């Protein structure tokens, strides 16, 4: 009669083998997965930028305690330092992208607005500039009453009545509707505020656009996208010189404010300054990737060049 088989050593070896195989698979999976390597330089630049933004907010809160000259000087200094950090960040990201690296997805840069969000705004919403241009040109031909002064302001009736706004509400596309709902739930959602502000301006609902823009700027007074919208609303309200100064300052200072160049060109065309309009449009065409150009931009540049004999 054969002695009973002792399975204990075999089971022990099998268990050890299974454990070793599992550990090997886990190790290989971790090796194959893209590692989220820290970028200390990028983190430092982000911290530097956010620090300057916080200082700018504190400065805005203390504005009433400072002399106007000191406030402007301090604001200019902090803005320049914030912009320097942004530009250094962009240069670092470009250099990192050009460097040879394994074929792993590059981490999405963080900043004022994500590239996908900017693409959506420039690819679709930016056409509001042509609507603003057309409206401002037409508004100059609006008949004035006997008691109305020729101030250059858009007549209140042309701003859009409540009935017109109610009729425009159902026409909002799904993206705008989603942004509007997000903004209602979270007034501090600046990306949603930017989308809503874009579309309200495009639909000539200026009073509501101003309300949304100002409320969002109360959360972050230095949000570049919203400050561009505020500059556009200045022009709509009649302060065209103030709008041009603000939009030009934003475009010269912040890398993310090139959208303001389109509105600068629109204002220049409205004022009959075709040379200034061409300069703004050409600068936008150079500084912004061609994939983000609004379709009529090239035609506008060619027409202005022909009219100016260039």
**Cα distance between residue 234 and residue 227, in whole Å:** 10
**Cα distance between residue 288 and residue 31, in whole Å:** 39
Contact indicator for 217, 197 with CB cutoff of 8 Å: no
Please state the pTM of the whole predicted model: 0.53
- In the chain, where are the structural domains located? 41-92, 115-140+157-308
Find all residues with CB under 8 Å of 49, minimum gap 6, and list them: 82, 85, 86, 89, 111
Please state, for a pLDDT cut of 70, what percent of the chain lies above it: 64
**Cα distance between residue 140 and residue 132, in whole Å:** 12
Under CATH, what is the fold of the domain 115-140+157-308? 1.25.40
Q: Which residue has the tokens 């010189």?
A: 241
**Cα distance between residue 251 and residue 258, in whole Å:** 5
Q: Which residues of the chain have pLDDT under 70?
A: 1-38, 100-173
DSSP per position, 39-62: -HHHHHHHHHHHHHHHHHHHHHHT
pLDDT (0 to 100) of residue 144: 40
**Cα distance between residue 76 and residue 70, in whole Å:** 10
Per-residue exposure over 11-44, b if at least 16 CB sit within 10 Å of its own CB, e if not:
eeeeeeeeeeeeeeeeeeeeeeeeeeeeeeebee
**85 CB neighbour count, 10 Å cutoff:** 20
pLDDT (0 to 100) of residue 5: 55
């Amino acid at each position: 009669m054969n002695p009973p088989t002792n399975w204990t050593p075999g089971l022990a070896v099998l268990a050890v083998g299974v454990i070793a195989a599992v550990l090997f698979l886990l190790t290989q999976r971790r090796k194959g997965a893209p590692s989220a390597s820290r970028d200390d330089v990028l983190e430092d630049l982000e911290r530097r930028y956010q620090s300057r933004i916080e200082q700018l907010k504190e400065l805005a809160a203390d504005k009433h305690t400072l002399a106007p000259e000191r406030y402007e000087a301090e604001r200019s200094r902090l803005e320049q330092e914030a912009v320097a950090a942004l530009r250094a960040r962009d240069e670092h990201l470009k250099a990192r992208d050009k460097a040879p690296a394994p074929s792993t997805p590059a981490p999405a840069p963080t900043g004022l607005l994500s590239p996908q969000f900017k693409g959506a705004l420039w690819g679709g919403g930016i056409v509001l500039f042509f609507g603003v241009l057309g409206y401002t040109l037409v508004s100059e031909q609006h008949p004035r009453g006997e008691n109305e002064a020729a101030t250059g302001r858009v007549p209140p009736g042309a701003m859009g009545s409540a009935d017109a706004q109610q009729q425009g509400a159902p026409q909002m596309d799904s993206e705008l509707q989603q942004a509007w709902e997000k903004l209602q739930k979270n007034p501090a959602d600046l990306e949603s505020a930017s989308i809503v502000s874009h579309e309200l301006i495009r639909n000539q609902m200026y009073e509501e656009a101003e309300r949304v823009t100002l409320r969002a700027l109360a959360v972050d007074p230095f949000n570049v996208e919203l400050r561009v919208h505020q500059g556009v609303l200045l022009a709509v309200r009649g302060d065209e010189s103030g709008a041009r100064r603000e939009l030009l300052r934003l475009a010269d200072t912040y890398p993310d404010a090139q959208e303001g160049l389109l509105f600068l060109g629109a204002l220049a065309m409205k004022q009959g300054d075709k040379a200034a309009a061409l300069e703004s449009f050409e600068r936008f065409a150079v500084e912004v990737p061609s994939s983000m150009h609004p379709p009529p931009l090239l035609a506008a540049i060619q027409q202005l060049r022909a009219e100016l004999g260039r």
